[in-house]
Amino acid sequence: MSREQQRTTSAPAELTAEQRTWLGQASRREVDGWIHVAVNGSPAARGFQYGYLVASEYAESVRVYREMTYQTIGMDYDFFVARANELHADHVGDELREEMEGIAAGLTAAGVPATFHDVLGINDWMELTGYWWPKHSGRYGAVAPTGAQGSHCSAFIATGSATVDGSIVMGHTSFTDFWQGQFENVILDVTPEDGNRMVMQTAPGWIASMTDFWLTGAGLAICETTISGYDGSRGYDETRVPEFVRARKACQYARDIDDWIEMLNTENNGGYACSWLIGDIKSGEIACHEQGLLYQGLTRKADGYFWGDNAPRDPRIRNLECRATGFDDVRSPNGAREVRWQQLLAEHDGHIDDDAARRMLGDTFDPYLDCVNPSARTICAHYDADPCQFNDVTAFSPHGSVDGKVVGSADVESMSLWARFGRADGAEFIAEDFLRAHPQWTWQRGCLEDRPPRPWAHIRPAGAAAGRSR
């Protein structure tokens, strides 16, 4: 599809009787900035439901992705869509291909013309721009490969004596560029014909979470923090299966932690290298699985906690597959959060519940300056407020915390979650105010949206009792 075609919308199509039946079995509702979408059935049915119900948001996200891909990389968005189909169309598998074709059909029926190739393109964009492009950019005239992966997300998971009642508690806040994070407000509840039911945070048209925050019907709670400094120019194999396919398969079909890790590692291509935090409410066990291309590390326990701050702990991954992780530099975002997570989790040890989790995710204490100072170095990252005079991060970048999610074992069992859309500490972001204060970013005007203060909302399955806010 050409760029001009992609920008064009049309009148919604007349639905078939089958399509009307499918839509009658799905739902969409909005909760404090989140879009909760519940879909079910065959791959074609659940795909169609999903595409139809998020069509307008998908169209807007592609408009912004087009502009920002060109502005930040210098290559057209369509270039990466073409590479996705050239490299990975054959790695999607029959079930997910049928689901993605269903998404395209639903989008088209809602007046947003799309094909399987378009849906694959947006699903593969993050991996291709972050891992494939650094490896191959020199072939296309880039002066030097784009740098290694930056800092994305703060997270923890706790169990046993660390929590109030001995059950699992998990919390996660996503860090990303604001233009991208503003679309990651979909809570997708998928009940497939085969495999586990899944609840995930995602964006319109994505078939995996990719933020990553998952609950599964097997009793698993899963999140991750991206491995910072990971060198995609060397640690990426485009001939294997992309991460979004492996993560989706693992969440849909894994029965326990071992099963999940085995599926994620099968045909691992090094794409979107992460430190994964996984909990199994059936056993009360938690695990930290660090996955590079050449090396993987696994630690597990039934008592205590793990945390994630983008700095890998496995010495092989940190030293042989990464550069400049900031692991032990408290001036850096990663090193500072490595210190702060230890302080916070020790302070709350034995008393961790969903309230404590929400407070920790919204923490803005800067351990380098030893005071409250919302900045790139805090658990709830405020890159946009940070002059970054103490490190080499770009000053006042529109990047940082864009959400917060918390679950306990009871939430996992009921497929519910606490979620805040916007910064984890609730601080607002007003795009025009930011651009007036920092005109070096005015080239993002028209692509940045406001994120007003919003409460934490308890988001439950469609048809359940109304959630509450805090």
Q: What share of the chain is helix, strand, coil (3-state, %, to 5)?
A: 40, 25, 40
CA distance 228 to 221: 23
Q: Could you state, in order of their start, the residue ranges of all structural domains in the chain? A: 17-26+41-138, 154-232+242-459
Per-residue model confidence as pLDDT tens digits over 184-210 = 999 999 999 999 999 999 999 999 999
- The chain-wide mean pLDDT, for the chain, equals 94
pLDDT of residue 462: 82
User: How confident is the model over 159-186, as a mean pLDDT?
Assistant: 98
Per-residue model confidence as pLDDT tens digits over 267-319 = 999 999 999 999 999 999 999 999 999 999 999 999 999 999 999 999 999 99
Confidence of residue 391 (pLDDT cuts 50, 70, 90): confident
Q: Which class does domain 154-232+242-459 fall in?
A: alpha beta
CA distance 182 to 187: 13
Residue whose C-alpha is closest to residue 356's, from 345, 366, 365: 345
Q: Is the pLDDT of residue 8 over 70?
A: no
Domains 17-26+41-138 and 154-232+242-459 share a fold: no
CB atoms inside a 10 Å sphere around CB 193: 11
DSSP character at residue 351: -
Q: Does residue 26 or residue 148 have the better pLDDT?
A: 26
Q: Is the pLDDT of residue 400 over 70?
A: yes
pLDDT of residue 235: 85
Q: Is the pLDDT of residue 327 over 70?
A: yes
pLDDT of residue 144: 58
Share of the chain above pLDDT 90, in %: 88
Which CATH number among 1.10.1060, 1.10.439, 1.10.3470, 3.90.320 corresponds to the domain 17-26+41-138?
Answer: 1.10.439
pLDDT of residue 142: 76
User: How confident is the model over 124-139, as a mean pLDDT?
Assistant: 94
Per-residue model confidence as pLDDT tens digits over 210-269 = 999 999 999 999 999 999 988 877 789 999 999 999 999 999 999 999 999 999 999 999
Per-residue model confidence as pLDDT tens digits over 336-365 = 999 999 999 999 999 999 999 999 999 999
Residue whose C-alpha is closest to residue 459's, from 402, 411, 409: 411
